[in-house]
Structure 1
């Protein structure tokens, strides 16, 4: 079978190679799936560079989520049968940038019938991260002002749609006019281009001085620092990641004086610490999708042969919307 392999660490375009590899088999508690669609995610970029918190042994195949068709099941599998269309996360070192991959059954979920393969593939990591941020680590309510950084990105776009579904007023911050148009299409009430506008002053003006009740921050650096200047009384800043490359050093005296909370979210921990909540999350996401309240907006649908270039462009920050590969 064909699979993209990383034999040495570096930039995605340089180290990703499409190779013939041995066929996989489903072990106990696993399912073997034919990959129908696999989105690019920022962790794929970090995996290629050796900068992700998980460091699989070389060589490995990246690709952390997918939509697929079950073609075989291992002993003890109860969550899927052959022929099921499923979504979820793949297990390294055999990721989803391949014709086939294996999945542990506790990471397998039914694909919503209301979404096509590419849309369904993009429902797991980004949307579950956003759901846990807004409904577990904070408790978003109707009328909240939600500020989303990188609102045209994978997790940011999910946060915009889930914020609107919860009845919040959503402000999206993006980089560039093309991404601004995409965030507007997602449903953001206000979109700010950080390259040409000061989001701090605009948020204050738009909210009449109230500020943002919740800040969704997968960027860090200047995005975080600016957010502390426009956070509302009793506001919550949810730290998702540091795609901007700089990890902030919070001034806790500032959090005390302005009475706001800094909340961390590591979505992957729920897989080991509280997996039942992940099932609950997927059920709710499926309900929202079936009700037409969320739908991953796919910016590009590319062939399996385009993985190296696509992941490289994601790392450059030049993609708009979800980039999905369909073998």
Structure 2
């Protein structure tokens, strides 16, 4: 599922592959699939936001050029420092909340597909209008239909080695409560598979 969402996000972003990209929550789930696909297809610069040292290391292994820890409350400022005079052309936003004002005027675009912070990205219509930015909401029935249509191509990407399935662990079905606890604590770096007892 994560790979199908990532492929649909990439299609919606219309990347030119000469652009600077920011991927939030870049070490797990959809973010990990995005990081792999964007880095391996050759974006100009891939910036990743990941929560904590283990996830930051995972984002680096997935070929992100630079990684910022989004658990740091000052991460938007750290991102600005990392960028220097450069701006971000495309933001894949799954965190929401306060966003760094780093998008490229007139062509910067943000694709919002989640809000791990508890609130959508804090962008107003005035932010978009005065700087010529684009916000694309990625949700709803039509969006999900596009994601479903990408499933076969996603499997082909995995077979071709472009997209690695990241599995954290395989647990017996009797440990479903433990799997839920791990997910709620946001510990895993990959999928948790529940195996029925035989």
Q: Which secondary structure does the structure 2 equivalent of 1:311 belong to?
A: helix
CA distance in 1, matches of 2:40, 2:152: 15
Residue 218 (structure 1) shift = 1.3
Partner in structure 2 of residue 315 of structure 1? 184
Aligned counterpart in structure 1 of residue 8 of structure 2, from 127, 132, 137: 132
Residue 204 (structure 1) shift = 3.7
Q: List runs of 5+ in structure 1 lacking aligned partners.
A: 1-124
Q: How does 1:95-244 map to 2 (within 5 A)?
A: 125-135=1-11, 137-168=12-43, 169-196=45-72, 198-222=74-98, 225-226=99-100, 229-233=101-105, 234-244=107-117
- Per the normalisation by structure 2, the TM-score is 0.85
CA distance in 1, matches of 2:80, 2:33: 24
Q: Which secondary structure does the structure 1 equivalent of 2:42 belong to?
A: coil
Q: Which secondary structure does the structure 1 equivalent of 2:89 belong to?
A: strand
CA distance in 1, matches of 2:157, 2:35: 14
Partner in structure 2 of residue 58 of structure 1? none
Does structure 1 conserve the Cα–Cα contact (< 8 Å) formed by 2:172 and 2:194?
Answer: yes
Rg larger in structure: 1
CA distance in 1, matches of 2:140, 2:168: 24
More helix by share: 2
Distance 1:207 1:128, change over 3 A: same
CA distance in 2, matches of 1:143, 1:319: 32
- Please state if 1:251 is matched with 2:124: yes
Residue 180 (structure 1) shift = 0.9
Q: List runs of 5+ in structure 2 lacking aligned partners.
A: none
Distance 1:287 1:177, change over 3 A: same
Q: Which secondary structure does the structure 2 equivalent of 1:302 belong to?
A: strand
Partner in structure 2 of residue 296 of structure 1? 165
Distance 1:256 1:159, change over 3 A: same
More strand by share: 1
CA distance in 2, matches of 1:291, 1:247: 35
Superposed CA RMSD in Å reads 2.3
Q: Which secondary structure does the structure 1 equivalent of 2:164 belong to?
A: coil
Does structure 2 conserve the Cα–Cα contact (< 8 Å) formed by 1:132 and 1:267?
Answer: no
Does structure 1 conserve the Cα–Cα contact (< 8 Å) formed by 2:158 and 2:165?
Answer: no
* Count of aligned positions: 194
Q: Deviations over 1:222-256 (max 9, x none)?
A: 3xx22xx1112211111001222123442211112
Does structure 2 conserve the Cα–Cα contact (< 8 Å) formed by 1:217 and 1:239?
Answer: yes
Q: Deviations over 1:257-294 (max 9, x none)?
A: 2221111112653455x6xx744x23432332222111
Q: Which secondary structure does the structure 2 equivalent of 1:184 belong to?
A: helix
Residue 145 (structure 1) shift = 1.4
